[in-house]
A = this chain, B = another copy of it.
Amino acid sequence: MTSQSTAFDVYDTTLRDGAQQEGMNLSVADKLAIAPLLDELGVGFIEGGWPGAIPKDTEFFARAAKELTLRHAQLAAFGATRKPGVRAGDDPQVRALLDSEAPVVTLVAKSDIRHVERALRTTGEENLAMIADTVALLVGEGRRVVLDAEHFFDGYRFDPTYALSAVRTAFEAGAEVAALCDTNGGMLPDGVLETVAVVRAALGPQGRLGMHAHNDSGCAVANSLAAVAGGADHVQGTVNGYGERTGNADLIAVVANLELKQGRALLADDGLRDATRIAHAISEITNISPFARQPYIGASAFAHKAGLHASAIKVDPDLYQHIDPTQVGNDMRMLISDMAGRASIELKGRELGIELEGRSDVLSRVTNRVKQSEAEGYTFDAADASFELLLREEVDGSRLAYFDVESWRVIVETLPGRPDEANAEATVKLTAGGRRVVATGEGNGPVNALDHALRLALVGSYPEIERFELIDFKVRIMDAMHGTDAVTRVLVETMDNGAETTWRTVGVGPNVIEASWEALVDSVVYGLLKAGVERRS
């Protein structure tokens, strides 16, 4: 337990420290959806939250134990050392860490004597006892323990002996790793390198050191690398650099630098090759727009604009790229490049079983329509079903139509004090299977009511739609500075419970209801197409 190993930990804290980001509010379902993506990335540890302190984190660990199957990562519960003056086993917060059943527990502890005295209001000695007791209790119960030494660098500068004693105490009680935290994020790389190297030497063969960096100086990635150069073999960070203030170290950038520039192999199953997709999928769940300039995985990270660059890239892409973008699952993009568009549409068509080679007219029309539609707010990389319908329309010359809509209307009404009644009612008029149908559906909101009315209108002619279930619904307001006049985009995910397949469609409109209607109609049409249903008229 106290011997130094050659292993290297990639420790993700997106779900705990990342969630401290301003404007981020992860539900238990969000966390349960993000954890498998982190596992797929290949990190060794997923810090899930603070059970016992935050009710929804307690629930996350309870559900994770039942619902999550992780291939590589171990779940870590975050918490604090026991309170001053109580036994560790009697501290309810420590009990909650055990009750979480997480195999790893990460304990935050003070290592800056000023914080011990001024914020914690106890003695240096009692703080060390709190560390020793809590670590020992958890290790005794079979948990792997990481110590997060809060304010380590500031504390070390002020009183190196005390800061070091906090780390040493944790190792002696059985902690596996001590992560040195630059809690205020103000360190620069040279100071990190020097401190970690001195601490590493002072500890001798005892324990492993980690780095927990924040980006307040704009150096979180470099500080993590400096710590590794100084002898750390555990790095903490978050996907997309989420976190309080300026965020935590961007874990993907740290790992990509270590793997691609320093030749280490850190992620399970070569997960770095999926980093871009995973980082973007996580930003869909957090609903925080991805930052286009994010190193390695940003949409602009390999996008070239300068004419100077473009001509050199034609000679050799390596002349203007620091790595091959496929190493992180990203793509080189030439901005303003019609040819790239046609080539990818041809490839996408082939993927869908629609051969477009030599059909230059169709390719041009589809390329132009995709460009035009994306400028209007559509996004096809997140709505493959809508793209396929668009492509088939251009190939066949007309839109696939199982029914003809005449009109629809939705009414939402509220009476204060009666919030729980179904308050939306939608009426849809359409012709399907040769019959004109008028159907009315109720719901707890306008989109729900429209969905019910549309199904009711169609089920007589197309009973197959009873198998379709709406399983996800996302709204984004584009160009938000225009207030409610802005364009709204809706993404809908539908499942065919018979075939166990899912598909995603997109709608865009001047408001959420118009956009939802378009996405709902596409969703039904695509589902019927894939179910092999013929138009009935």
Contacts and interface: CB of A to CB of B under 8 A. Distances in A.
A319 B80 CA distance: 18
Nearest to A510: B444
Nearest to A27: B479
Copy count, this protein chain: 2
B293 A247 contact: yes
A461 interface: no
B475 A476 contact: yes
Interface string A285-298: 00100011111101
A184 interface: yes
Contacts of A339: 20, 54
A293 B245 contact: yes
A21 B221 contact: no
Interface residues of A, number: 134
Contacts of A321: 184
Interface in A465-521: 469-481, 483-486, 488, 509-514, 517
A407 B412 contact: no
Interface stretch (A130-138, A265-273, A310-318): A310-318
Given A115-B312, A305-B244, A413 B408 contact: yes
A400 interface: no
Given A335-B22, A408-B413, A412-B513, A375 B448 contact: no
B301 A216 contact: yes
A512 B445 contact: yes
Contact of A295 (B33, B55, B218): B218
A409 B416 contact: no
Interface in A245-261: 245-247, 250, 253-254, 256-257, 261
Contact of A445 (B256, B304, B305, B510): B510
Interface stretch (A39-47, A186-194, A350-358): A186-194
Contacts of A513: 412, 424, 445-446
Contacts of A302: 245
A305 B309 CA distance: 43
B304 A218 contact: no
B253 A218 contact: yes
Given A250-B218, A473-B484, A483-B470, A319 B189 contact: no
Interface in A52-108: 54-56, 80, 108
A531 interface: no
B261 A186 contact: yes
Contacts of A484: 443-445, 447-448, 451, 470, 473
Interface stretch (A167-175, A222-230, A359-367): A222-230
Contacts of A2: none
Contacts of A322: 184-186, 216-217
Contacts of A459: none
Contacts of A319: 114-115, 118-119, 151
B409 A411 contact: yes
Is chain A's interface secondary structure helix, strand, loop, or mixed overall? mixed
B445 A217 contact: no
Given A118-B316, A322-B186, A446-B446, A306 B244 contact: yes
A93 B333 CA distance: 28
A111 interface: no
Contact of A424 (B256, B416, B445, B511): B511
A185 B33 CA distance: 33
A471 B476 contact: no
A438 interface: no
A246 B293 contact: yes
Interface in A363-421: 371, 374-375, 377, 379, 381-382, 405-416, 419
A488 B490 CA distance: 13
A201 interface: no
A480 B488 contact: no
The winner among A80, A108, A448 for most chain B CB atoms within 10 A is: A448
Contact of A483 (B287, B374, B472): B472
Interface in A1-52: 20-23, 25, 27, 29-30, 33
A337 B26 CA distance: 12
Interface of A: 20-23, 25, 27, 29-30, 33, 54-56, 80, 108, 114-115, 118-119, 151, 183-186, 188-190, 215-219, 221-223, 225-226, 229, 241, 243-247, 250, 253-254, 256-257, 261, 287, 291-296, 298-306, 308-309, 311-312, 315-316, 319-323, 335, 337-339, 371, 374-375, 377, 379, 381-382, 405-416, 419, 423-424, 443-448, 451, 469-481, 483-486, 488, 509-514, 517
4 A-B pairs with least C-beta separation: A445-B511, A186-B322, A222-B222, A218-B221
